[in-house]
Chain A
């Protein structure tokens, strides 16, 4: 894949003038991302490389591993969450546990890099100055893809090198799979960046494709044991697992990944050559000459409604798909202590169906943290883009301005959980009440994270993006922590770890009340900070 990708940059783009300035732009991109890029690379690679040690502690002997493999494969919720297990070596179990997630992280990293250096630059108007210099028409896209390539190659090399102890073939396959998925979404982002004028929308659409790929893979693997479901094969995330690293690698799957990268890259290059700087293939339509917006709240809703709608549809769809898998979750073969332990730690206390539903509710809840952070940080984006300033120069107090966005952030999180719960109940076909109740309990943890984002955006605006790191750590603890048998102290760092396991478990009000109180205190502190400080200019 590596060689093919690099070759394409040189040959398929119609002469060197089209690429003039690529080297300089690539250096600029790497310079601008000198912190973000290494952090991403080390997170992606570090997660993978931490697996063998952790798994050796959980499953020390070959017999334990074989047992774990049998029971995991028999359990549809574990297959859906991770992937089928293709071998009982430490390497194969590592690839099973982390391969898909590492690929998702690489994909997120790649789409951010590519859109940041293409559509973002055009939207802000910076590209005009750059393109007015001796810069070829396709140079910015090339530089962005090369930057993504550098990051993915670094992550892939670290994985291949670090995992080589478990078998060099498998290590190479895993490294290539993760890096390849990254580049696959890099080129997809490159296409989307040509289509829309908004960088935000471009990131949203590409992330939507990534989310759909995950749901497809999960649904496919929940239904079949060997990872051979059509749904799994449609999903690019299914390809990573079906590479079967450390378990009789199927190298030809790399051809699928490489082919998709080439096809998408070619399409993006073609589109990039056909449009002007700042233009797009989905042009902006004229709007009304008279406006109905009358309040800061209405403005906030107008700005965020598209993303609320997109998230809600995603939650509904994911709920329906996961709900439909719940019946099969109880078909567990054998009686394996480890599996039960894992499922218990993931969320279940009684009945495996309940455990499965509880796990899915937890996943929706953790995903909603991403929504709440994104929505709260919209406030921050309005401020830093200078759009808040003229609004606040009107008869609008800072609190009222902030409240507009916060109602959407916190109310939207509630809405997402209700919609997701509805989807689960529809897919499962019963238990609407308990499922909705379980979803509502999650809201306490989501709001606590949202509260932290408000505190950062309000009182420490320079550190506002750290809210993403907090949400990311909570996600990592919740998704990967249970399988790693992390110490309780670590699990306790995430607000989700304190919630009662519902449906199935008993309701505990104390943690819910505590989390809601924390959330309220954080919001209050953030708003107090916002009132007192200077606006960023």
Chain B
């Protein structure tokens, strides 16, 4: 597969603040790629570089094989973008804005536009500020999904959407994937990422800390195991990769690094298993591990990097 987006060693500073500090990102053509990171990690800065709105200080970025800065206009024919905070013109109706974006991108599918407006229950005759936050977001989503592009760059696109609309959004993303489109999805809604994304990249402080399929990433984290045994547990404490063990009588609760699960199970069956509950790590746990690695004192610097 060819890559739709490749970013390597990207640096970008705003004054003394390093928003991007050697960021890497690879998005395969046709995949839905989750782009995760705490607030101020540099997600939006990366997206702005990919859209040619910011020029990186150093490092390489390619979008659809082109240079996002020099080939901006040509590339944008094949790219649709939804920002996390959509600002509309007060005197233009939602329908006008959708059509404007469509035309500026070189055309949009009328039937799909009508279909999307219906599915998102959007009133296209309202103007600018009279839309709620969620409805402004829908205007941008309809404009993006109705256009005929190869890559969709979505920067926290569902902020403000209700759960029903969130579901419509997820269906739309799946439809786009089925058509072979590439989607870069920056999001904080982990269930959304978990159900939609083929692969994810987690970034912190302008650097990529983790990248791969969810299965890959899960491998690196801990599974929690709760077991009721026939007799008292034996020798679990000494096993490598076991954490937070809690024994009360014949009950045992523990966390184990996922690739060390085998030994734990063997030890448990030695004692005789009456019941066993094993929970794979959620993306949330994965996420929190990366977020919490850091001390509060370092977070001050992060706050300076807004968006």
Max count, chain A CB within 10 A of own CB: residue among B51, B53, B81, B128: B53
Shortest distance from the beta carbon of B259 to any chain A beta carbon, whole Å? 41
Interface size class of A (residues with CB under 8 A): 35 or more
Nearest chain A CB to B152's CB is how many angstroms away?
11
Residues of B within 8 A of A335 (CB): none
Instruction: Determine the chain B residues whose CB is within 8 A of the CB of A331 once the complex forms.
Output: none
B278 within 8 A of partner (CB): no
Q: Are B95 and A394 in contact (CB under 8 A)?
A: no
A290 cross-chain contacts in B, Cβ below 8 A:
95-96, 99, 124
In the complex, B270 has a CB within 8 A of chain A: no
Give the total of B residues in contact with A, Cβ under 8 Å: 46
Q: Is B92 an interface residue (CB 8 A)?
A: yes
Tell me which of B53, B91, B124 contacts A537 (CB under 8 A).
B53
The distance in angstroms between the C-alpha atoms of A389 and B81, with both chains bound, is: 10
Contact B93 A537 (CB under 8 A): no
Closest residue of chain B to A382 (Cβ to Cβ) is B89
1/0 per residue, CB under 8 A from A, across B71-98: the answer is: 0111011011101011111111101111
Write out the residue numbers on chain B whose beta carbons fall within 8 Å of the beta carbon of A507: none
Using Cβ atoms and an 8 Å threshold, which residues of chain B touch A395? Answer: 73-74, 76-77, 104-106
Residues of B within 8 A of A391 (CB): 101, 104
The majority secondary structure among interface residues of chain A is loop
The residues of B that contact A302 with a CB separation of less than 8 Å are 91-92
With known contacts A294-B100, A395-B104, A534–B95 Cβ distance under 8 A:
no
Asked whether, in the complex, the Cβ of B54 is within 8 Å of the Cβ of A393, the reply is: no
Contact residues of B between 155 and 172, Cβ < 8 Å to A: none
Residues of chain B lying within 8 A (CB to CB) of residue A289: 93, 95, 124-125
Given contacts A289-B124, A537-B307, contact A390 B140 (CB under 8 A): yes
Residue from the list A286, A287, A385 in contact with B87, Cβ < 8 A: A385
Contact B105 A534 (CB under 8 A): no
| Partner pick for A397 among B44, B55, B72, B129, CB 8 A cutoff | B72
Annotate A19-50 by CB proximity to B: 1 below 8 A, 0 otherwise: 00000000000000000000000000000000
- By the criterion CB–CB under 8 Å, are B96 and A288 in contact? yes
Q: Given the complex of chains A and B, what is the CA–CA distance between A391 and B140 in angstroms?
A: 11
Given contacts A389-B83, A535-B48, contact A286 B104 (CB under 8 A): no
- Rounded to whole Å, the gap between the CB of B11 and the closest CB of chain A is 14
Asked if A396 lies at the interface with its beta carbon under 8 angstroms from chain B, I say yes
Which residues of chain A come closer than 8 Å to B92, judged between CB atoms? 287, 291, 293, 302
Across the interface, which residues of A come within 8 angstroms of B73, CB to CB?
395-397
Cβ of A123 < 8 Å from any Cβ of B? yes
B130's nearest neighbour on chain A, judged by CB, is A284
Q: Do B81 and A393 touch (CB < 8 A)?
A: yes
Choose one: B81, B101, B126; the contact of A286 (CB below 8 Å).
Answer: B126
A-B contact count (CB 8 A): 125
Identify the interface centre among A287, A290, A292, A299: most chain B CB within 10 Å of its CB. Answer: A287
**Residues from chain B with Cβ under 8 Å of A263 in the complex:** none
Contact indicator B96/A293 (Cβ below 8 Å): yes
A236 to B: closest C-beta gap in Å:
30
The interface residues of chain A lying within 8 Å CB-to-CB of B97 are 291
Would A390 and B83 count as touching, CB distance under 8 A?
yes
Separation of A396 and B126 alpha carbons in the complex (Å): 25
* Closest beta carbon of chain B to A110's beta carbon, Å: 24
> Which residues of B lie under 8 Å from residue A533 when comparing CB positions?
55
Smallest CB gap from B51: residue in A? A393
Those of A80-105 within 8 Å (CB) of chain B: none
Chain B proximity of A415: nearest CB distance (Å): 21
Minimum CB–CB distance from A404 to chain B (whole Å) comes to 11
User: Which of A289-305 touch B at CB < 8 Å?
Assistant: 289-296, 299, 302-303
- Within 8 Å CB of B90, what residues of A? 123, 197-198, 284
Give chain A residues whose Cβ lies under 8 Å from the Cβ of B74. 395
Q: How long is the Cα–Cα vector from A284 to B88 in the complex, in angstroms? A: 14
Output the least CB separation between A150 and chain B (Å): 30
Check if B95 sits within 8 Å of A287, measured CB to CB.
yes
| A461 CA / B41 CA spacing, docked (Å) | 26
User: Which residues of A (257-294) have their CB < 8 Å from a CB of B?
Assistant: 278, 284-294
| Cβ B53 vs Cβ A393 within 8 A | yes
Do B53 and A534 touch (CB < 8 A)? yes
Closest chain-A Cβ to B141's Cβ sits at a distance in Å of: 12
- Chain A residue with Cβ nearest B96: A291
Structural contact, A392 and B87, CB atoms closer than 8 A:
no
Closest-by-CB residue of B relative to A537 is B48
Contacts of A198 in B (CB 8 A): 90-91
Residue of B nearest to A386 (CB): B87
Q: Within 8 Å of chain B (Cβ to Cβ): is A387?
A: yes
CB distance from B68 to the nearest CB of A (A): 11
CB closest chain-B residue, reference A536? B53
A295 to B104, CA, bound (A): 6
**Interfacial chain B residues near A397, Cβ < 8 Å:** 72-73
Cβ distance B93 to chain A, nearest Cβ, rounded Å: 3
Distance between Cα atoms of A533 and B128 in the complex (Å):
29
Distance of A295 Cα from B77 Cα, bound (Å):
14
Complex CA distance for A392 and B76, rounded to whole angstroms: 8
- Decide if B127 is an interface residue (CB 8 Å cutoff): yes
Contact, CB under 8 Å: B129 / A294? no
Contact check, B104 vs A396: say whether CB atoms are below 8 A apart.
yes
> B72's closest neighbor in chain A, by CB?
A397
Residues of B within 8 A of A (CB): 44, 48, 51-55, 72-74, 76-77, 79-81, 83, 85-93, 95-101, 103-106, 124-130, 140, 153, 307
Given pairs A198-B91, A290-B96, 4 additional interface contacts (CB within 8 A):
A288-B125, A290-B124, A294-B99, A386-B83
Give 23 pairs: A residue, B residue, CB < 8 Å, sorted on A: A123-B129, A278-B129, A287-B93, A287-B95, A288-B96, A289-B93, A290-B96, A291-B99, A291-B100, A295-B103, A303-B91, A386-B83, A387-B88, A390-B81, A390-B83, A390-B101, A391-B101, A392-B72, A393-B76, A393-B153, A395-B76, A397-B72, A537-B307
Please list the 3 inter-chain residue pairs (A to B) with the smallest Cβ-Cβ separation, ordered nearest first.
A287-B93, A291-B96, A291-B99
